[in-house]
């Protein structure tokens, strides 16, 4: 169980995350939605401890995450893997080496400094790539791949960390619809088959509605909705995004061509996504 109690983050006079309280059971697939600047990315980065909270407590299985330092912090980041919008691959390196970077926190200091990976590490990397249908590109330079392919490599890199939790920060924001579908399918399969907890920041509602067990809506740093996809009413969407029904901006977020279509139709599950 991942727990957040009164977690906040302040940058100067800006309160990016404001008194967030959450409990995430093991194995849940959670979509975090909201406008840009709502605090979604800061929330995930605090969980991973890339950003330190200004207040509150983060704990996992009863142990404090907020106070971790040194080796304990590195171990936490290994077990709580991040997937970024911009992939964060090294373009000039081949795909399998990029994936093996995910093992750096799992091997000894000397091996990590010289990037010496053993046969078991390489086998894990190839298995992760195969799971994501990317094994045939193992020796290709990462910079030669499409955006969707690079994101799947980034997911493989996260998998070889052998994580308990996957944090995906807008993983499909810069992808075309087909690539976005492949990435969301991959995250869903990992969640369902491995039981890995997934927290995924998403701008559009459709993938959250179709792929996630639970949706958390954020606005101005606070949680304004927490429920199942079926409980996501048009009123809840208005609270999250602060937009009036019928607006073009809301239609874009709904990914719906008909501005006056009911929410149930706008969020109809698509087999192409999940």
Q: Is the confidence at residue 267, as pLDDT, over 50?
A: no
DSSP-derived secondary structure for 64-109: ESTT--HHHHHHHHHHEEEE-TT----TTSBHHHHHHGGGGGGS-H
Closest CA to 17 of 49, 56, 63, 48: 56
- Rounded Cα distance between 190 and 188, Å, is 5
Looking at residue 256, its pLDDT comes to 46
Q: Which domains does the chain have, with CATH numbers?
A: 1-45+52-71 (3.40.50.300), 81-198 (3.40.50.300)
- Rounded Cα distance between 36 and 111, Å, is 40
7 has which bridge partners?
20
- Measure Cα distances from 1 to 61, 163, 204 in Å: 5, 14, 27
Looking at residue 272, its pLDDT comes to 46
Count CB atoms within 10 A of the CB of residue 139.
Answer: 9
**What percent of the chain has a predicted confidence (pLDDT) above 70?**
84
Q: How confident is the model at residue 197 (pLDDT cuts 50, 70, 90)?
A: very high
Least confident of 16-25, 122-131, 263-272: 263-272
Closest CA to 250 of 208, 261, 169: 261
Tokens 């195969």 -> residue: 130
Tens digit of pLDDT for each residue in 77-94? 989 999 998 888 999 999
Least confident of 47-51, 135-139, 147-151, 233-237: 233-237
Looking at residue 204, its pLDDT comes to 79
Tens digit of pLDDT for each residue in 144-185? 999 999 999 999 999 999 999 999 999 998 898 889 999 999
- Collapse the DSSP code of 25 into the 3-class scheme (helix H, G, I; strand E, B; otherwise coil) and give the result: coil
User: What region, left, alpha or beta, does residue 255 occupy, with left being phi > 0 and alpha being psi -120 to 50 degrees?
Assistant: left
Say what the pTM is: 0.86
């Amino acid at each position: 169980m991942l727990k957040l109690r009164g977690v906040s983050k302040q940058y100067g006079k800006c309160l990016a995350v404001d008194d967030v309280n959450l409990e995430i059971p093991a194995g849940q697939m959670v979509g975090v939605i909201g406008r840009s600047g709502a605090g979604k990315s800061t929330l995930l980065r605090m969980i991973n401890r890339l950003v330190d909270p200004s207040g509150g407590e983060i704990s996992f299985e009863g142990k404090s995450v907020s106070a971790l330092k040194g080796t304990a912090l590195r171990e936490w980041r290994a077990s709580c893997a991040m997937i970024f919008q911009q992939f964060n691959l090294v373009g000039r390196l081949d795909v399998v080496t990029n994936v093996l970077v995910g093992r750096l926190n799992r091997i000894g200091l000397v091996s990590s400094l010289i990037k010496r990976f053993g046969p078991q590490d390489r086998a894990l990397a190839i298995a992760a790539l195969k799971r994501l249908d990317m094994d045939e590109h193992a020796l290709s330079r990462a910079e030669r791949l499409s955006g969707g392919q690079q994101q799947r490599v980034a997911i493989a890199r996260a998998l070889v960390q052998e994580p308990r939790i996957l944090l995906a920060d807008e993983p499909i924001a810069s992808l075309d619809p087909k690539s976005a579908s492949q990435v969301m399918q991959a995250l869903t399969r990992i969640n369902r088959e491995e039981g890995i907890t997934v927290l995924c920041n998403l701008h559009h509602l459709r993938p959250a509605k179709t792929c996630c067990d639970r949706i958390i809506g954020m606005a101005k740093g606070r949680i304004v909705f927490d429920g199942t996809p079926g409980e996501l009413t048009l009123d809840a969407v208005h609270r999250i995004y602060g937009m009036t029904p019928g607006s073009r901006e809301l239609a874009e977020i709904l990914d719906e061509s008909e501005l006056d279509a009911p929410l149930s139709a706008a969020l109809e599950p698509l087999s192409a996504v999940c």
